[in-house]
Structure 1
């Protein structure tokens, strides 16, 4: 029986004494009963200690003594005692549940703080977990990087194709046969053909190659500056190819002057 039920029983006993003074006189005074109970309990405790029993048996005997002194309980009193016991048990269960919950929380916190044994064995820290959002962001960054690289490669390829087409189609001179133009692929070839094509009426030029090279050099320098300004972005080989084609039809070419 709990301590609260003892208090309740004693309160009921006081009410009975107030309602029935004659019956209350038959019971021993409270202090006397306590002294007697204390002496009896002391004697019983001594005997029980010698026999191996504990203080729990002494408390049970004391409760039995008070119950016998108070007499039979009414139904309402028993119900109140049962309710008090139920409330005490519920409070004890709640306290135990709180204690278990706190203990579990402490164990979880200790497990989180505990280092990874596998990582310690291999000599490296634990790899942090990557969230789904982080994975999606990385995939998007990789896709954008590949797209930029593909666009840059496409631009480089388009620029190369444009330069080739520019030199092959736009800047190609008319390929129709012009009898007044001597075909040659170099200055030396042009000099040789110019010597062969010269008419006997004219006096032979003793140094035609010198005059031709000087004229071509001057023509090349002048036209190269113009072409770089008009059509930037080409290679030197493309510029020289264009200049040579212009030179073959230019009036500054001594070969064209001979044909005239």
Structure 2
């Protein structure tokens, strides 16, 4: 009895003895053309390759989505219907994830824009480089108007400040000319009378010898000056406001040196009648 090995040998001999099909003229010519044809170019069409890659990526993404949808449907069917609170929690989680993704994308776009602006600022101006000078920034009409308005306000503030200073301060000579006026009310050389007899009587009294002069006027000098200063500073503040206290004291001191209320001036006046 023949085994499987003998059967395979008999089948092979039968195939080898079978007549081979004859080739037609068309097949022979086609084979000759293929043998003598020029080889194809080895260049790659980049656009076709990019389109093919996009189609492949889209197809892979579609299959991935379908697989995820099937998996989610499977697990949802296994878990059963969800309650309203669970669905709300899942929706909130999805919304938070989407918001975080949007924030991250906005942050990335902002950083990219900053980098582009920094690169543009570092890039030299070709036109300015050709001219040979630094790049002059362009100024708009609104910027020029704003600068003119700021300059006008600055000049106006300076003019107002100068006017206030001029109103608060005055020339020292003008103050002295106005303030240091001779006090004729205390002039002892002037005699006022309503009749001739009254004038003669007053002249007689003035001609009579007075008491001897004070030999120690410095003892009452401080008190007299204090009273004189208090009286004069009030008048000066009303007549010429705006001075400092130091300026008032300087003017009062000049008035005090010429004032008849000064004990030293009184001593000098009396020594004319009573020489030492």
Q: TM-score range by the shorter chain?
A: 0.3 to 0.5
* More helix as a share of residues: 1
* TM-score, with length taken from structure 2: 0.35
